[in-house]
Amino acid sequence: MVIPCTGSFSLAWTALAAGVPAQNIVAGDISLYSTALGQAIMGVRWPITFKPNVPEEYQTVVSPLLGDPITQAVGVLWMIRYLQYVKKRDTAFLKAKRRELLLNSTAYTDQLQEGIETMVKALHGLTYVARDMWETMSTELEQPGTVNLINPPRYSGGYSRMFAGVEDIFEWDEPKVSQFEEKDYPRLMDMLKEKPALSLMYYATQGEDPSPLWGNPWKALFADRPAKLGAAAAINWIIANRDPIGIEANRGRINEGKAKFRFFDGVVTEKSDLRAVTVQREVGEY
């Protein structure tokens, strides 16, 4: 299984819960956030230092943490959280939040370490690569048995806005990338439909089934419009570069007509063995 835009590793967690061994998962991303977590999972200590003229208050908290792979991740994640309050408007409330994060930094970093250690234990064996998704997909999707879970950002400069300020704090081996934008979809869809691997793509839209837009062999497998947001809510689709198991399902009414459910490749008889399994909501969503 390949997850070229792994983010916070939520898809990796979902795959693990579905029975995919961590050793069979290759995850990649370009952000310092994902890289810190990915290297911690693999137990790899990697080069990261402060840039010149970084405020001493940051260094006092983070410097002692830049040791083993897990504490490196703790330091990076704490710093990213702190910066989220720096890049916003400089209100009294945000100043108080920054002060509180500094005063109680030990409590927060202890919590981060506990969470990261849990992730490392669960996902041990996963392979993480700090590289552009195009590079990851160009090398990892050549086998027919591979499943590619792809969820590229739908808005320009997403990574830059999400992690604003981090580039002024840390020096690290940052991969060279081209920010994915909406105009890159035709290139992406043409690339994936030629690859032997099965690609499942998350795609949100206000409109109809997006698979006809990309032509054969793309097919919509799942659609979900959150009921609580009403008819104006975006529809979350999963589309595939082939029809892997004959699934066509949606939760709730998308357009006029009834939802279709074709989960069985054959006839259900009295000899059929039908089973149900309970999963957490986030697993079901994915």
* pLDDT tens string 134-147: 999 999 999 988 99
Nearest-CA neighbor of 140 among 18, 21, 24, 283? 24
At 118, the amino acid letter reads: T
Write down the pLDDT at residue 3.
Answer: 97
Mean pLDDT of 237-248: 74
Q: In the structure encoding, which two tokens stand for residue 11, read together?
A: 């898809």
More confident residue, 273 or 1: 1
Reported in sequence order, the residue ranges of the chain that DSSP labels E, i.e. its strands, are 2-3, 26-29, 48-50, 127-130, 147-150, 170-172, 198-205, 219-224, 235-240, 249-251
CA 281 to CA 286: how far, in whole Å?
9
Reported in sequence order, the residue ranges of 12-162 that DSSP labels E, i.e. its strands, are 26-29, 48-50, 127-130, 147-150
Question: Which range among 52-61, 91-100, 108-117, 161-170 shows the weakest confidence by mean pLDDT?
Answer: 161-170
Whether 185 and 223 have beta carbons less than 8 Å apart is answered as: no
User: pLDDT > 70: what percent of the chain?
Assistant: 84
Terminal CA-CA length for the chain? 15
Q: In the structure encoding, which two tokens stand for residue 66, read together?
A: 């830049």
Q: Give the H/E segment covering residue 88.
A: none
Q: The pTM is what?
A: 0.79
Cα four-point dihedral sign 202, 204, 207, 213: negative
- Per-residue confidence band for 24, with pLDDT thresholds at 50, 70 and 90: very high
Mean pLDDT of 69-73: 94
